[in-house]
Chain A
Amino acid sequence: MLLLAPLVTDAQDRAVIYVVNYPLQYFAGRIAGDLVDVVFPVPPGEDPAFWRPDAEAVSGYQQADLILLNGAGYAKWVNRVSLPRSKTVDTSRAFRDRFIATEGGASHSHGREGEHAHAGTAFTTWLDFNQAAAQANAVRDALSRLLPRHATTFDKNFAALEQDLADLDARMKDAGEGGRNAPLLASHPVYQYLARRYSLNLKEVLWEPDVMPPESEWQMLKSLLDTHPAKGLIWEGEPSAYAVNRLRQLGIQSTVFDPCGNRPETGDFLSVMENNVKNIKPLLR
């Protein structure tokens, strides 16, 4: 764990917390309330995992009192900028031994380094609500080190958040158990932790909700259905009516399970996740 000296001593000086995704903004906001300013500089509509900050945004992160990272390789830009280690907290470090490795494209060799592949790590860690609670716990700990005078408030607020996440976890577990390992499809490889925690028999395609899949993708889907006869497909965002209808003709129902990496247009993290659980339940019956 990092050592964060209580840098903010004056009640008038509000600590500035920079985060790399919306779930962390939500957790920090729920735990600290009005005691801190939580800054999430990624523009709406952009995927924070693939966003690239400009020099001004990097400077903002560097000058923050606390920087909350998601970890698990989320936000690749973090590896290409200089951030002060003393102010940086990797919120998923506590469960880093349970990260899921993803297949990393083609292996290749060049120069004297020999063969290597750019394998990665699944990074939507918060879709396992138990892990989300662990991340919120890391946020609470970091805030308590930063503003020790408010530790009791943070503990109280964290307890409420932890309870909300535990409720979500229980409901999603029920839904997962109800599915009895029924085959399911996902439009993108972002649901690895969700599938693992809630025992979903999930296989992914690489479809964007707002892009009509080409005919070759439909053929690949049909081949996939031979070995994985799924009756439902979960999308990151609202899919096109054409895709929904065509899937229905194949006997596949569509629904949205928003990972909520960026701030939602309406509601908040909790309401989006509640909707997600509600949406996925019928597909698992």
Chain B
Amino acid sequence: MIDSLYIAWKYLGFNRLRTATIVACVTLIAVLPLTLEVLLAESQRQLLSRAASTPLVLGAKGSALDLVMNGLYFDDEVPELISMAAVDAVDDTGLALPIPLYVRFKARRFPIVGTTLDYFDFRALQVSEGRQVAMLGDTVIGADVAESLGIGVGDSLLSSPETVFDLAGVYPLKMRVVGVLGRSHSPDDRGVFVDVKTAWVVQGLVHGHEDLAQTTDASMVIERAGDKVVASAKLVEFSEITEENIDSFHFHGSPEAYPLSAVIVVPDDTKSGTILRGRYLEGESAAQLVVPKTVIDGLLANIFRIKNVLDAVIFVVAIATMLALFLVFALSLRLRQREIRTVFRIGGSRSTIVRLLLAEILIIALASAALCLVALVVVQNYSNDLVRALFIG
């Protein structure tokens, strides 16, 4: 058999291009479904582990999937907004800890996550460099943000306008990077974390400007009528929060009316969670309280339905490829009539020819398997990042 393998090896080496093409075909047809399997398994693991570790998510009635994807994975699709009053309502029940989330704005393509310090405890996120957010305008960035943008403690990060056409919109806020989170291999690595009040500053709901009652610049005021003052465009809202101007930042109206995209609800125990869910099921509540795992299970069921279709397609393509390969071998036998005659002349039998062909097939199969293994090891190693980049965002 060794001699057959040797001759086959030499033959395949001589016909490098043809061999490489066949090996590539076989490798691809094997790698595709296996890679898909690995990536889907990883995405299932990531989606489910994040969902399973988040007991309940509260949001405005509407798409539960948008709510969960935004609240858990900081997806670009912003669900219908709810207000801080929803957080107070959960608080008042005494059954759960509400963690507000406002994930709507971006800073250089990374999501700005407005929340409270409780989020970091809840997700067990540790600051690996610097300190935790303390003042308005502070931000703590995820490991991917720091690595990708090449920024760290002491640098600053500008919020991005919601749309490029929003010429009359608020100025971007220059945020101070005060800490970098340790890598968590989760969507938190891509987060630009700020206090929820800073997210409202980004939106312009909380802002600071020169005191109109105190200003000596007459051109800053268009009209003064009794208690009413109309400011001119010269009155610029501060675009950076500093020691000097932080006291001028103020809320307009009740903070209870300020917007949020979602609220993570952490019940005291299973019973408290059930009672809470019951309260949001009944009545005319404008909010919905969803179990992320149930929502993600539904999403995965759809994904696996699509995967079944893909598997069928790949199976058909694999058969077609195998038939094509069989044809290649059959035709190559015709082209190799002179070689075969030579083998007979030097004393080789019909079985020698079969052995030579089997040896060729074996070498091609082994080469494809090796390549396939290497590709799978690479995919497996990078599956976490690949899944987050390709599927979760």
Q: Do A83 and B117 contact each other (CB < 8 Å), given the known contacts A1-B92, A55-B134, A116-B253?
A: yes
A245 at the interface (CB under 8 A from B): no
CA distance A2 to B228 in the complex (A): 39
Q: Do A107 and B134 contact each other (CB < 8 Å), given the known contacts A79-B197, A82-B117, A82-B195?
A: no
Interface size class of B (residues with CB under 8 A): 35 or more
A86-B97 in contact (CB<8A)? yes
A106-B96 in contact (CB<8A)? no
Closest CB in chain B relative to A266 CB, distance in Å? 32
A80-B116 in contact (CB<8A)? no
CB-based nearest A residue for B196:
A82
A84-B117 in contact (CB<8A)? yes
A82-B209 in contact (CB<8A)? no
Chain B residues 230-250 with CB under 8 Å of chain A are: 230-231, 235, 237, 246-247, 249-250
B249-A84 in contact (CB<8A)? no
Which of A52, A59, A108 has the most B CB atoms < 10 Å from its CB?
A108
B268 at the interface (CB under 8 A from A): yes
A113-B252 in contact (CB<8A)? yes
A43 at the interface (CB under 8 A from B): no
CA distance A108 to B121 in the complex (A): 41
A285 at the interface (CB under 8 A from B): no
CA distance A105 to B98 in the complex (A): 34
B136-A80 in contact (CB<8A)? yes
CB-based nearest B residue for A4:
B97
Residues of A within 8 A of B133 (CB): 82
A110-B235 in contact (CB<8A)? yes
B132-A82 in contact (CB<8A)? yes
* A3: contacting residue among B94, B132, B135, B213, CB under 8 A: B94
Chain B residues 95-139 with CB under 8 Å of chain A are: 95-100, 116-118, 121, 131-136, 138
A80-B91 in contact (CB<8A)? no
Residues of B within 8 A of A113 (CB): 204, 252
CA distance A156 to B92 in the complex (A): 26
Residues of A within 8 A of B255 (CB): 79
A106-B229 in contact (CB<8A)? yes
Q: Do A82 and B213 contact each other (CB < 8 Å), given the known contacts A109-B230, A113-B252?
A: no
B94-A55 in contact (CB<8A)? no
* B135: contacting residue among A2, A81, A86, A112, CB under 8 A: A81
Q: Do A110 and B209 contact each other (CB < 8 Å), given the known contacts A1-B92, A3-B97, A81-B135?
A: yes
B204-A82 in contact (CB<8A)? no
Q: How many residues of A contact B (CB 8 A)?
A: 30
Closest CB in chain A relative to B197 CB, distance in Å? 7
Q: Do A106 and B135 contact each other (CB < 8 Å), given the known contacts A80-B249, A113-B252?
A: no
Which of B229, B230, B253, B268 has the most A CB atoms < 10 Å from its CB?
B229
B94-A59 in contact (CB<8A)? no
Closest CB in chain B relative to A16 CB, distance in Å? 16
Residues of A within 8 A of B250 (CB): 118
Residues of A within 8 A of B132 (CB): 62, 82
CA distance A3 to B118 in the complex (A): 12
A82-B228 in contact (CB<8A)? no
Closest CB in chain B relative to A142 CB, distance in Å? 12
Closest CB in chain A relative to B380 CB, distance in Å? 38
A82-B134 in contact (CB<8A)? yes
Closest CB in chain B relative to A262 CB, distance in Å? 19
Q: Do A62 and B94 contact each other (CB < 8 Å), given the known contacts A111-B204, A118-B250?
A: no
Residues of A within 8 A of B121 (CB): 84, 86
B330 at the interface (CB under 8 A from A): no
A34 at the interface (CB under 8 A from B): no
A108-B94 in contact (CB<8A)? no
B231-A82 in contact (CB<8A)? no
Residues of A within 8 A of B227 (CB): 105-107, 117
Residues of B within 8 A of A112 (CB): 168
B212-A108 in contact (CB<8A)? yes
A116-B247 in contact (CB<8A)? no
Residues of B within 8 A of A105 (CB): 213, 227
Residues of B within 8 A of A76 (CB): 247
A58 at the interface (CB under 8 A from B): yes
Residues of A within 8 A of B195 (CB): 81-82
Interface string of B289-331 (1 = CB under 8 A from A): 0000000000000000000000000000000000000000000
* B247: contacting residue among A2, A52, A85, A110, CB under 8 A: A52
B9 at the interface (CB under 8 A from A): no
A115 at the interface (CB under 8 A from B): yes
CA distance A115 to B223 in the complex (A): 12
Q: Do A108 and B229 contact each other (CB < 8 Å), given the known contacts A1-B94, A82-B195, A86-B97?
A: yes
CA distance A210 to B116 in the complex (A): 41
Write 20 A-B pairs (CB below 8 A) sorted by A numbering.
A1-B94, A3-B94, A3-B95, A55-B135, A59-B134, A62-B132, A62-B134, A79-B197, A79-B251, A79-B255, A80-B249, A81-B195, A84-B121, A106-B228, A109-B228, A109-B229, A109-B231, A111-B204, A112-B168, A118-B252
Q: Which residues of A contact B (CB under 8 A)?
A: 1-3, 52, 55, 58-59, 62, 76, 79-86, 105-113, 115-118
- Using A79-B251, A106-B228 as known contacts, list a sample of 14 further A-B pairs with CB atoms less than 8 Å apart, ordered by residue number in A: A1-B92, A1-B94, A2-B91, A3-B96, A3-B268, A58-B135, A80-B197, A82-B135, A85-B97, A86-B97, A86-B118, A109-B229, A116-B253, A118-B250
